[in-house]
A and B are shown apart, each in its own frame.
Chain A
Amino acid sequence: GDSVTQMEGPVTLSEEAFLTINCTYTATGYPSLFWYVQYPGEGLQLLLKATKADDKGSNKGFEATYRKETTSFHLEKGSVQVSDSAVYFCALNAYNQGGKLIFGQGTELSVKP
């Protein structure tokens, strides 16, 4: 079945460091791909998305490119801030699955000043 695999956390970085969180997926057809972020005590916020191969989603300095050849959607940011500390989830919405999102296990990011 469809699935999403994320790199395990927690990830601890110093402020202004480069961030990469790996995400790979398994799905039939051409799913849409998403990154969501969850701050403590809150729900999920959509960070960015891509709906077809080679699309690049970007928001708030974060970027991810839909790579069909490697079935990947890695999240990157050039310079992280303390305020980026949160849990990040990669997710897919498979074609013909309506509103069903399949999530990775989440990666906790902690940024130290």
Chain B
Amino acid sequence: KAGVTQTPRYLIKTRGQQVTLSCSPISGHRSVSWYQQTPGQGLQFLFEYFSETQRNKGNFPGRFSGRQFSNSRSEMNVSTLELGDSALYLCASNDGQGSYGYTFGSGTRLTVV
């Protein structure tokens, strides 16, 4: 069974640009969550999508957005990039039952210069 796939693995962008990250969940999983990991703030929840609807949202500015497609693949977009957006972005998928744990992808390392 294929795991959670995130693309690309690495990205370098310039301040002010926008970026789109992709996440393909485990087959059959309908929930996809996104997290930002930085040395200073640790792991912070961005948002969760379930069956193409945003089900939960963390405390991030509106520059961070996402969506989910009918095949459960999800994309995350960050507009007007800032230096502080440099981080490892992780996505996780689940069959919809949070208590059973989430399977994480390897992440996308975003560097903003």
Contacts and interface: CB of A to CB of B under 8 A. Distances in A.
Contacts of A98: 31, 48, 50, 55-56, 98
Nearest to A6: B42
Given A43-B90, A89-B43, A99 B104 contact: no
Nearest to A97: B56
B92 interface: yes
How extensive is the interface on chain B, given as a class?
Answer: 20 to 34
Nearest to B91: A43
B64 interface: no
Given A44-B90, A98-B50, A99-B50, A93 B104 contact: no
A51 B99 CA distance: 6
A32 B94 CA distance: 14
A99 B42 contact: no
A26 interface: no
A93 B90 CA distance: 17
B101 A46 contact: yes
Interface residues of A, number: 22
A45 B101 CA distance: 10
Interface in A27-62: 32, 34, 36, 42-46, 49, 51
Contacts of B90: 43-44
Interface of B: 4, 6, 31-33, 35, 42-43, 45, 48, 50, 55-56, 58, 90, 92, 94, 98-107
Interface of A: 32, 34, 36, 42-46, 49, 51, 89, 93, 97-106
22 contacts: A42-B107, A43-B104, A43-B105, A44-B90, A44-B104, A45-B104, A46-B102, A49-B99, A49-B100, A98-B48, A98-B56, A99-B31, A99-B33, A99-B56, A99-B92, A99-B102, A100-B45, A102-B45, A103-B43, A104-B42, A105-B42, A106-B42
